[in-house]
Amino acid sequence: MGGSDGGAAAKTVVESKEWYLAAYAPENVPTSDHLKLRSVTISLEYDSVADQHVAVQLLLISVDPYLRSTITGRDGDLYLPRPPLNKAITGFGIGRVVRSKNKNFNEGDIVINPFSPVAEYSIIPADFLRKIDQTTDIALPNYLSCLGVPGFTAWVAIEVLGNPKPGSNVFISAAAGGVGMFAGQLAKLKGCRVVGSTGSNDKVQLIKDEFGYDEGFNYHEESDFDVALAKYFPDGIDLYLDNVGGKLLDDVLNHVNKGANIVISGMISQYNTIPAEREGVKNLLNMVGKDVKMQGFLCGSYLNQFGEFAQQMEKYINEEKIKPKHKINQGIESFFESFVSLFSSSNLGKVIVQVAT
Ligand SMILES: NC(=O)c1ccc[n+]([C@@H]2O[C@H](COP(=O)([O-])OP(=O)(O)OC[C@H]3O[C@@H](n4cnc5c(N)ncnc54)[C@H](OP(=O)(O)O)[C@@H]3O)[C@@H](O)[C@H]2O)c1
């Protein structure tokens, strides 16, 4: 469902605020020295739009941890392209086409773009845009959560790679976040016993009350993860979906069952640390004796299964078997605070910025 166009279609010149990368941030949580906001003048005159390009007004932008690993100024980690300095950063965004020089897109179309500049307006090639069907009842934020990267990542982890059996003991870290909330719900739909770790008591309550987790614990309040895991997994762990890495991953290796799967989606606890100072994993030998499989993945490597995912997820949403939870912050100005909130346990659910309606 789109909203009003706020008169953007009628404007010919706009002052557009955008977040750009002023300096790389090799370690620690990025600050306002690294990501800065500025205003640029953009002509929306038809003649200012290059052939095969469209002018887009940004409506919603997803706030994702992967941005952290692309702005370190070094290669490696997630092996995603390094954004250039002094240019608007990009993310998964939903926008409204306000001018078009591409025959596949018309003014008023609502589009999703994996490389959306974090800018109120932008003129961009139409290559990566996908039109959103505005005749359905699906709310736009869902395309950035359950039907977007977090939902797809959770689906690949649970349905494709982890594939737990009914009754399997499943552990999910960052359980209240974008990936974690959908992974937990998918594992419950498969009949598993699901336990999550997360960063506040409110979030522990949330994962149990709204996402159907059987148990949960606040990792900030556990002085010894080994003790916590022994308590919550008296019968051991069959599948661990790792979103955080570090000490928790190391301690999970002491509780795995024979033939367990460890699916690594990300390691957010290590993203603000240079590689030489990251926490090492000491208990890998347990993988040998227990025939454990550990696999990292990027959801982008499974795009050939996106159609199957979207069909199944839409069905679950329509049947209210999967519920999304969004933290929607207002205004492009809130992007920076929203981004750093990913590293402080202060958000709840999938973090999104609403730039316009
Ligand atoms: N492989 C892929 O294709 C793919 C795609 C998308 C995301 N991911 C990964 O999946 C993970 C979750 O991403 P998301 O988009 O769903 O983000 P998210 O979970 O909505 O937000 C990140 C969460 O991580 C937790 N966190 C932050 N610092 C932490 C620390 N030091 N130790 C433990 N937890 C910490 C925080 O929640 P708490 O309150 O629990 O602390 C925070 O809310 C990330 O590792 C991300 O890189 C992978």
For the beta carbon of residue 156, count every other beta carbon within 10 angstroms: 24
Is residue 2 scored above 60 in pLDDT? Answer: no
Ligand 1 nearest atom to the CA of residue 298, by list position: 3
- DSSP 3-state assignment of 354? strand
Q: Does the CB atom of residue 324 touch ligand 1 within 6 A? A: no
pLDDT in tens, 108-161: 999 999 999 999 999 999 999 999 998 988 999 999 999 999 999 999 999 999
The topology (CATH level 3) of 149-301 is Rossmann fold (3.40.50)
pLDDT in tens, 314-349: 999 999 999 999 999 999 999 999 999 999 999 889
Whether the predicted model's global pTM rises above the 0.85 cut: yes
Q: Whose CA is nearest to atom 32 of ligand 1?
A: 269
Mutate to test the pocket of ligand 1, among 161, 244, 263, 264 (most ligand atoms within 8 A of CB): 244
Question: How many Å lie between the centroid of ligand 1 and the Cα of residue 284?
Answer: 23
Q: Whose CA is nearest to atom 29 of ligand 1?
A: 269
For residue 125, the number of C-alpha atoms closer than 13 Å in the C-beta half-sphere is 4
Question: How many Å lie between the centroid of ligand 1 and the Cα of residue 66?
Answer: 9
For the beta carbon of residue 85, count every other beta carbon within 10 angstroms: 13
213 CB contacts (<8 Å, ≥6 apart)?
172, 175, 184, 188, 194, 195, 196, 207
Mutate to test the pocket of ligand 1, among 78, 153, 268 (most ligand atoms within 8 A of CB): 268
pLDDT in tens, 58-91: 999 999 999 999 999 998 888 888 999 999 999 9
CATH assignment of 13-144+325-354, given 3.90.180.10, 3.20.20.70, 3.30.1490.20, 3.40.50.300?
3.90.180.10
Q: Whose CA is nearest to atom 9 of ligand 1?
A: 266
Percent of the chain with pLDDT over 90: 93
Q: Does the CB atom of residue 62 touch ligand 1 within 6 A? A: no
Where in the chain are all domains bearing CATH 3.90.180.10? 13-144+325-354
Where in the chain are all domains bearing CATH 3.40.50.720? 149-301
Is residue 184 scored above 80 in pLDDT? Answer: yes
Read off the pLDDT band of 4 (50, 70, 90). Answer: very low
Read off the pLDDT band of 218 (50, 70, 90). Answer: very high
